[in-house]
Amino acid sequence: MNQLEGLLENWRTERLPVTIANRTRRVYDLLARVYPISSYLFHARAHRLALELAAIENGEKVLEIATGSGEMFSRIAGGNAKGLNVGLDLSPSMAARTLGRLRQEHPEVNCTIEAADSRLMPFRDQSFDHVVCCYLLELLASNDIVRTLHEVQRVLKPDGKFTLIMIGQNHESFNQAYRIASKVVPAFLGQQMDRRGPEILEACGFEIEQTRTVTQTLYPSRIVVSRHS
């Protein structure tokens, strides 16, 4: 059994056993209009720091997976006016609304958003210098996390960078509250995975360069910047 198979085996009891992508898509479709509030309250600080650590150069080809309502995507596009900014989200409503938002906020910037699944991305191999992904892995079953990370490797150019944000697991009281809430709305919240995150990234072939944690409104986030190795 290789390292990745071993990790998946250990994980089986902890994580969502099967994909619930269809439910997740329906939930985020319904919430597309109000989701920006949650992103503003809990994610803005981590988005800002992740963008700083990512150090995207103006002119790069950048992909953001699971753009949601586009708060991070708008920051990326604003700093990459000479480059190409591509987003994708499983929820067609999120993707359409976010594309409309981006066209208004950055009419001069080359950007597009696809309604697509991170597990099978509609892009050629080695298309991007940088891939960004915030708060998605929590929503995926363990096999789907691995499929998504392999897709990230496939679409990244050699030596390309991957900037990931996960929900932090460094506050025990927050973890307990999250576990309870996620039993009620699993398709919206998924399951925390920060403790296993770096291990699984490395097993999927990423070299970790930086990791930081940040908290906003009691909600912890872990940022990991890694490179395609």
Ligand X SMILES: C[S@@+](CC[C@H](N)C(=O)[O-])C[C@H]1O[C@@H](n2cnc3c(N)ncnc32)[C@H](O)[C@@H]1O
Q: Which is nearer to ligand X, 41 or 55 (CB)?
A: 41
**Is 68 one of the binding residues for ligand X (CB under 6 A)?**
yes
> Min. distance of Cβ 32 from ligand X in angstroms?
8
**Is 134 one of the binding residues for ligand X (CB under 6 A)?**
yes
**Is 43 one of the binding residues for ligand X (CB under 6 A)?**
yes
Q: Of 136, 138, 83, whose CA–CA distance to 112 is shortest?
A: 83
Q: Which is nearer to ligand X, 16 or 139 (CB)?
A: 139
Q: Which is nearer to ligand X, 20 or 109 (CB)?
A: 20
Task: Kindly tell me which residue out of 4, 23, 26, 39 binds ligand X, with binding defined by CB under 6 A.
Answer: 39
**Is 129 one of the binding residues for ligand X (CB under 6 A)?**
no
Q: In what order do the strands lie in the sheet with 111-115?
A: 111-115, 84-89, 61-65, 128-134, 156-167, 219-228, 206-216
**Is 83 one of the binding residues for ligand X (CB under 6 A)?**
no
**Is 101 one of the binding residues for ligand X (CB under 6 A)?**
no
* Residues forming beta bridges with residue 220, ordered by sequence position: 215
Task: Kindly tell me which residue out of 128, 135, 178, 206 binds ligand X, with binding defined by CB under 6 A.
Answer: 135
**Is 21 one of the binding residues for ligand X (CB under 6 A)?**
yes
**Is 168 one of the binding residues for ligand X (CB under 6 A)?**
no
Question: Is residue 4 classed exposed, middle or buried when 0-12, 13-18 and 19+ CB atoms within 10 A define those classes?
Answer: middle
Count CB atoms within 10 A of the CB of residue 125: 9
Instruction: Write down the residue that tokens 């150090």 correspond to.
Output: 55
Extract the runs of DSSP E, i.e. beta strands, from 4-110. 61-65, 84-89
Contact present, 197 and 204 (Cβ < 8 Å): no
Q: Binding residues for ligand X, per CB under 6 A? A: 21, 24, 28, 39, 43, 65-68, 71-72, 88-91, 94, 117-119, 134-136, 139
